[in-house]
Structure 1
Amino acid sequence: MRMLIRNRCRYLVAVRMSVLTAGLLALATLVSSPAAKASGKLSVRTPDSEIVNNRVVFSTVDEEIRSPKSVTLTNSGLEPLTISSLVLGDSDEIVNAANGRSGDYKRAGDFQILNAPALPLVLAPNASLELSIQFAPQRGSGIIQNSSTHSTNAENYATLSVSTDDPAQPIFKIPLAGLNAVGYEGNNEPAAAEISRSFGWSTVIGTELLKIGGDKALVGEELYSPYWVRADASKPLLAWPLARYAARKTGLQGYTKLRPKSGGTDNQILVFEGGSDESGGENQRLLPKISVDGTDVAPTAGTIGRFPNGPFGIKLDNAYINDAQNTPDQPHNWRIFPVRDKNGALVPNHWYGIVDPGNKNPTPESGKNYDYQDGVFLLANVRPESASLNPATPGLTPGNSALILFFRSAVSGTLTDVNGAGLGFTSTQRNNNDTFTSTPSYNAGLLRLSTANTGTLVLTTADSSPSRTDNNLVNGLQLAFDGRSVPFTASAKILGPLSQIAVPPYQQAGIFTGPDQDNFIKLVARATDTNTIGIEFYQERRAVGTTISTVSLANPSTLQSLELYLTADPNGSTIRSAYRAVYADLDTGVVNLPGTVTLAGGDKGRYFDLQSKAGIMAYSKDSPSIQIVYDNFQVLKANP
């Protein structure tokens, strides 16, 4: 049962006016009729634009009203520009809301334009209008116990829409985000997933909870690399500070440094200034300032940019990104995730780095609680030292011969079967038992390649499942490919008979596509009764499963083969399904199943990715093992 520990709502009306920039009145003229030519051009400058451009990000604690931020509108055209409206409305990022949290994206009332001008307003060429925007939360945030999410009402999103007569972009939308922490320190702080969404990203952190845990096991889209290199050797590494939710104390703290792989002296990037005042100083906030020569300043590329010549690690205080450099009593202190924009597209060479320094068995001095937001960074212009770990490396194009597996010969350099023969598949769908040193999602002893005759792969099922919160699927064999622009079909042929699939609904066999065991689409055969198999088209999104459609096939004991198809169109963001059943006296031909999955927001980019995933799965949760014989698996180009 969910219990709101604290949900204090305070309605605040901020009455504060800012003065327009010097000379503005001489440059801007109020008009009553649209006489200006429509050839002006709107340019927008937002604060923190080097970190998050065309977005305004606020943070506060316990509904405290903090300083406003400025957005500058400039006419960079050659003719006058008319601003006709400034409207605060809902956020269009609602598709990426945490489960049950769509109301967080309808919070226009939490933001105010303190110096809204009379409209319409005409800006002469090169003239600017500076808007002062304030975040004033109109609801209290609280902690929910026994819930899959950390807090309620902490995230607040809206959009400022600027309408002009700029013919190229008549409506310019500026996303607004306000993070209202429940309170100071401890369990009152925001979770790493909430911080990531505040910057407009759809990166999957893997949990909405505050405490992620210190085990050396990857969560969400996390990638572990002990060393990193600059992606573009002509440009600096940039470690932008995104958040600082450490204990409030005075003095310099949070020393962030580079540690060269070759050894030598650490290279300091930045240091935080503490603060003991009620508002947390430069702790307990997003986008904190850093200390430069004893002065608190907003970071710039000039102050934090570094040019390491070779591979490097990163440390915050004594917490290293390379686990081998941490002391034995320190667990996994850093977690690194690729940055994805609101549509799920990778932002190449940009990483969301979160750190929780300290030792195990925390004492009041250690401060370790596994929340991984004592320091939060945007690492830019870097990639893993090993190029094979880089998710921005495009996969093969659908139809490539390496994506067509007929199991007629062993394939070197791929996952192997019980006899050491390469299967052609390159990875397994990671499950929640995988760690840095073990891979329970892969069991070669349950796989057997038979190259005789036409070639087959025999998969013996394990007591496992990818569904909902199980996430312990064994041998979800998969291939990676570039699924961004070419429609593709993932298909497999399973040889009959299939009478061994007899325990509904837990014995299943088929194909899947999707990024992980909380987010995938499958087409499987499963038992419905003693003499019927159901073909199920199923989607799981954020560990919530939905059956799209089903169809029944009688007489599985006489079924000679079953072909399954998932066809995906990245242009329409859709996935459809079909099957073909062959009996001795009947061939159904290709039959389309009802229903279409349409992907949006971050889901779209993760399914249609530089390294999209598709493969085969078979399992028997809470039921006897069975053997499934695959004749082939293919990822081919398809008609949309």
Structure 2
Amino acid sequence: MNNRKLALNPSSRMLLCAFSFSLLTASSLSLPLAAQTSGKLVVTTEDAAIVTGRLVFSTVDEEIRSPKSITLTNSGAGTLTISSLVLGDSDEVVNAVNGRTSDYKRAGDFQILNAPALPLSLAPGQAYELSIQFAPQRGSGIVSGSPTHTTNGENYASLTISSSDPSQPSAKVQLAGLNAFAYEGTGEPSAAEIARSFGLGNSIGSEALKLGGAKAPLGEEIYSPNWLRANASSPVLLWPLARYGARKTGLQGYTKYRENASGSEPTIYAFPGGSDVSGGENQRLLPKVSIDGSTVTPTANNIGETPAGAFSLKFSGSYTDDALNTPDQPHNWRTYPLRDSQGKLIPNTWYAIVDPGNVLPTEGNEVGKNFDYQDGAFLLSNARPESANLDPSVPKAAPGNSSLVLFFRSAVSGTLADSEGKGIGFTSTQRNKNDTFTSTPSFDPSSLLLNTSSATGTLVVTTTNSSPSRSDNTLINGLQLAFDGRSIPFTVSSKILGPLNQINTPPFQQAGIFLGPDQDNFIKVVVRSTDVNTLGIEFYQERRAVGTTLSTVSLANPGSLQNLELFLIGDPSVGTVKAAYRAVYTSSDTGRVNLPGTVNLVGADFGRYFDPQSKAGILAYSKDSPSFKIVFDNFQIVKTNP
């Protein structure tokens, strides 16, 4: 098919495997003498080229498929003793979808087929290969109202290996088994379930099998028609993570890239069909591929490609560039920046999923296209969007930078404009469900007025009938700034000018500040009507569209308020977010008051909040309530005072 293959250099291999923690020990040169003369454990998993420290299995309807291997090697100078091999719960339970924590306690679904007698002694250079089998002990199903598409389809556990290695007495391998309900149709797993099986912390935006074909960003999706090699000295790699196409014989799912300058379309590989129940390399995770007529396991040496300039991806005739998908130009690919299980972005690495077919379904003619986006699922590495503005791994300004301190005293060029065309300082809005790749209904300049006529300056926001809460996701003018939230403790704050007795209709007249990546996942502290003519402050978190109020306090005499300051305090060193307020009246001042409650961000939530492009801003809305005006005196993202 394609002779332009290039071996992966060591730096690219390290980048590729970075999204899963490595079990390799430190160099013996840095260890004490006693450690240098002892045994040293190296754990190698079968699919280490794609995902290290993890075994990933798939099956359909509880079928028992082939086992996979974990190799235990003694790379030290002395004898290594393996003292125990224990199957237990997965470490990734913090990433469970709402209520599905039992999926991460499935040790009984995995078996060591050739468990050795323990203790096991390995001489220097000796290895032992464990054979692990996934044998699901419960049936999966499609159940209405389940938080995931497939109920009981995801099964996670871990294998803990205890040894005499003084630098690593306990090593752990994560185990994942995906048990599809049935072959093809609605029985297949969803793109979100596939991502979790590989330990990815991405927000796909939906748990549904059919994600819909709208040309609108879903979850963290980045729409880049064309791509560039990130490191020109290394190849682009498109690893096949999953293939859930129709079961057929012969080759199918031809996967190519298109060199835009020349228009040439070299084939990377295809997927072999077959006459067995699985249809060859269909209906499974980590399929083998066909290259030059041979069925092989993909490696860095046989799938590496070296496009000279901008390129697009192509699968079964469907391109990442919608304009090339003639005749109907459907949105056939969705691409997500890769996050590990802790939510950390892996630069230049992407979860790319595709639903082929260039003729849109019409009533009575579905033409086989259902927008499930898992006919092919890929790990794209050493690639970046052609437009640098689309790259979410490029850090923004650190807390305290002047661009993150807005006093609204003058217009700011290059930022969102108000009703009079004056730049207000905010650079984007929190995307709502109506935003597309070409339009932003989440932004309404007619409801904004930058008032620079006085020395203080204000931003006046007129609320709209919208809301970010739960599944509504219609917020308009969730004005935000991006900042580097990874290392410096920071405080997000805003001062709202009183009086505030115009906020008098519960429950969805609200105004305040927020922190978070999207309208399904955010933390806010707001002033709101808690009862008719009663004002309160609410500290609130929404996670995967499920809301939790951490605390609420009442504010007396809203008509006498001169100003109200709201604070969200984030600390990336411990993964916490707290809230506070200060209310200034005509004759009194509460001082800064800490609100009860703390948000503890763990797992993928941690990385998505404390990100190279963390997001925070102001919001004001009146869902199904009378509109009102709110006056913001300032907005700041600064370093937290010690």
Shorter-chain TM-score tier: over 0.9
**Contact (CA 8 Å) 1:148, 1:209: kept in 2 or not?**
no
Q: CA deviation at 1:99?
A: 1.4
Q: Which residue of 2 aligns with 1:540?
A: 542
- Return the match for 2:627 from 608, 612, 625: 625
Q: Which residue of 2 aligns with 1:115?
A: 114
Deviations 1:424-465 (A, max 9, x none): 101100000001121110001111101121100000000000
Q: Which residue of 1 aligns with 2:190?
A: 191
Q: CA deviation at 1:147?
A: 4.2
Larger deviation, residues 594-603 vs 272-281: 272-281
Q: CA deviation at 1:366?
A: 3.9
Deviations 1:41-72 (A, max 9, x none): 11111112111112100001111111111111
Larger deviation, residues 275-284 vs 102-111: 275-284
Distance in structure 2 (CA, Å) of the matches to 1:264 and 1:545: 49
- Matched letter for residue 59 of structure 1: S
Are positions 1:78 and 2:80 aligned together?
no
**Contact (CA 8 Å) 1:228, 1:385: kept in 2 or not?**
yes
Deviations 1:344-403 (A, max 9, x none): 101111100000011221788942111100011000011111111100000100000000
Query: 1:85-234 to 2 correspondence within 5 Å?
Result: 85-234=84-233
Distance in structure 2 (CA, Å) of the matches to 1:300 and 1:208: 30
- Return the match for 1:553 from 549, 555, 563: 555
Q: Which residue of 2 aligns with 1:13?
A: none
**Contact (CA 8 Å) 1:36, 1:81: kept in 2 or not?**
no
**Contact (CA 8 Å) 1:38, 1:81: kept in 2 or not?**
no
Q: CA deviation at 1:324?
A: 1.0
Deviations 1:305-341 (A, max 9, x none): 0111111111102111011111142421000011111
Q: Which residue of 1 aligns with 2:16?
A: none
Are positions 1:404 and 2:399 aligned together?
no
What secondary structure, in the 3-state scheme, does the structure 2 residue paired with 1:445 have? helix
Distance in structure 2 (CA, Å) of the matches to 1:365 and 1:440: 30
Distance in structure 2 (CA, Å) of the matches to 1:565 and 1:194: 36
What secondary structure, in the 3-state scheme, does the structure 2 residue paired with 1:143 have? coil
Distance in structure 2 (CA, Å) of the matches to 1:314 and 1:104: 34
What secondary structure, in the 3-state scheme, does the structure 2 residue paired with 1:50 have? coil
Query: 1:335-350 to 2 correspondence within 5 Å?
Result: 335-350=334-349
**Contact (CA 8 Å) 1:496, 1:557: kept in 2 or not?**
yes
1:121/1:510 Cα in 2 relative to 1: closer, same or farther (>3 Å)?
A: same
Distance in structure 1 (CA, Å) of the matches to 2:166 and 2:548: 44
Distance in structure 2 (CA, Å) of the matches to 1:166 and 1:496: 64
Distance in structure 1 (CA, Å) of the matches to 2:259 and 2:366: 29
- Matched letter for residue 457 of structure 1: L
Deviations 1:97-126 (A, max 9, x none): 111211110110110000000001111111
Q: Which residue of 2 aligns with 1:500?
A: 502
Moved over 6 A (4+): 35-38, 362-365
Query: 1:301-312 to 2 correspondence within 5 Å?
Result: 301-312=300-311
Q: How many residues align?
A: 606
- Matched letter for residue 132 of structure 2: I
Q: CA deviation at 1:149?
A: 2.4
Distance in structure 1 (CA, Å) of the matches to 2:313 and 2:275: 27
Q: Which residue of 2 aligns with 1:288?
A: 287
Distance in structure 1 (CA, Å) of the matches to 2:194 and 2:559: 54
Distance in structure 2 (CA, Å) of the matches to 1:348 and 1:209: 27
**Contact (CA 8 Å) 1:41, 1:81: kept in 2 or not?**
yes
What secondary structure, in the 3-state scheme, does the structure 1 residue paired with 2:403 have? helix
Larger deviation, residues 85-94 vs 266-275: 266-275
Distance in structure 1 (CA, Å) of the matches to 2:562 and 2:609: 32
Distance in structure 2 (CA, Å) of the matches to 1:323 and 1:424: 33
Distance in structure 2 (CA, Å) of the matches to 1:401 and 1:296: 57
Query: 1:124-523 to 2 correspondence within 5 Å?
Result: 124-358=123-357, 359-361=359-361, 366-453=367-454, 454-523=456-525
Distance in structure 2 (CA, Å) of the matches to 1:547 and 1:146: 24
Q: Which residue of 1 aligns with 2:31?
A: none
1:223/1:560 Cα in 2 relative to 1: closer, same or farther (>3 Å)?
A: same
Q: CA deviation at 1:36?
A: 12
Structure 2: runs of 5 or more not aligned:
1-33
1:558/1:173 Cα in 2 relative to 1: closer, same or farther (>3 Å)?
A: same
1:328/1:293 Cα in 2 relative to 1: closer, same or farther (>3 Å)?
A: closer
Distance in structure 1 (CA, Å) of the matches to 2:35 and 2:561: 74
Are positions 1:635 and 2:637 aligned together?
yes
1:592/1:146 Cα in 2 relative to 1: closer, same or farther (>3 Å)?
A: closer
**Contact (CA 8 Å) 1:223, 1:336: kept in 2 or not?**
yes
Provide TM-score, normalisation by structure 1: 0.93
**Contact (CA 8 Å) 1:531, 1:554: kept in 2 or not?**
no
Query: 1:554-573 to 2 correspondence within 5 Å?
Result: 554-573=556-575
- Return the match for 2:595 from 593, 596, 604: 593
Distance in structure 1 (CA, Å) of the matches to 2:522 and 2:203: 14
Q: Which residue of 2 aligns with 1:578?
A: 580
- Matched letter for residue 419 of structure 1: E
What secondary structure, in the 3-state scheme, does the structure 2 residue paired with 1:551 have? strand
- Matched letter for residue 562 of structure 1: L
**Contact (CA 8 Å) 2:270, 2:289: kept in 1 or not?**
yes
**Contact (CA 8 Å) 1:38, 1:166: kept in 2 or not?**
no
- Matched letter for residue 175 of structure 1: Q
**Contact (CA 8 Å) 2:273, 2:281: kept in 1 or not?**
yes
Q: Which residue of 1 aligns with 2:23?
A: none
Deviations 1:569-610 (A, max 9, x none): 001100111101111100111111111111100001100001
Deviations 1:119-168 (A, max 9, x none): 01111111100001111111111111254421111111110100001111
What secondary structure, in the 3-state scheme, does the structure 2 residue paired with 1:104 have? helix
Deviations 1:248-267 (A, max 9, x none): 00111111111122242112
Distance in structure 2 (CA, Å) of the matches to 1:97 and 1:592: 30
Distance in structure 2 (CA, Å) of the matches to 1:547 and 1:152: 28
**Contact (CA 8 Å) 2:268, 2:291: kept in 1 or not?**
no
Distance in structure 1 (CA, Å) of the matches to 2:503 and 2:48: 57
What is the identity percentage for the equivalent residue pairs of Structure 1 and Structure 2? 69
Distance in structure 1 (CA, Å) of the matches to 2:608 and 2:104: 22
Distance in structure 2 (CA, Å) of the matches to 1:161 and 1:147: 31
What secondary structure, in the 3-state scheme, does the structure 2 residue paired with 1:142 have? coil
Distance in structure 1 (CA, Å) of the matches to 2:591 and 2:228: 52
Q: CA deviation at 1:504?
A: 1.1
Larger deviation, residues 354-363 vs 516-525: 354-363
Larger deviation, residues 466-475 vs 38-47: 38-47
Query: 1:4-83 to 2 correspondence within 5 Å?
Result: 39-83=38-82
Q: CA deviation at 1:230?
A: 0.8
What secondary structure, in the 3-state scheme, does the structure 2 residue paired with 1:116 have? coil
Distance in structure 1 (CA, Å) of the matches to 2:445 and 2:536: 28
Distance in structure 1 (CA, Å) of the matches to 2:210 and 2:532: 46
Distance in structure 1 (CA, Å) of the matches to 2:585 and 2:622: 25
Structure 1: runs of 5 or more not aligned:
1-34
Distance in structure 2 (CA, Å) of the matches to 1:287 and 1:127: 29
Deviations 1:219-248 (A, max 9, x none): 111110111111111110000000000000
Distance in structure 1 (CA, Å) of the matches to 2:339 and 2:285: 19
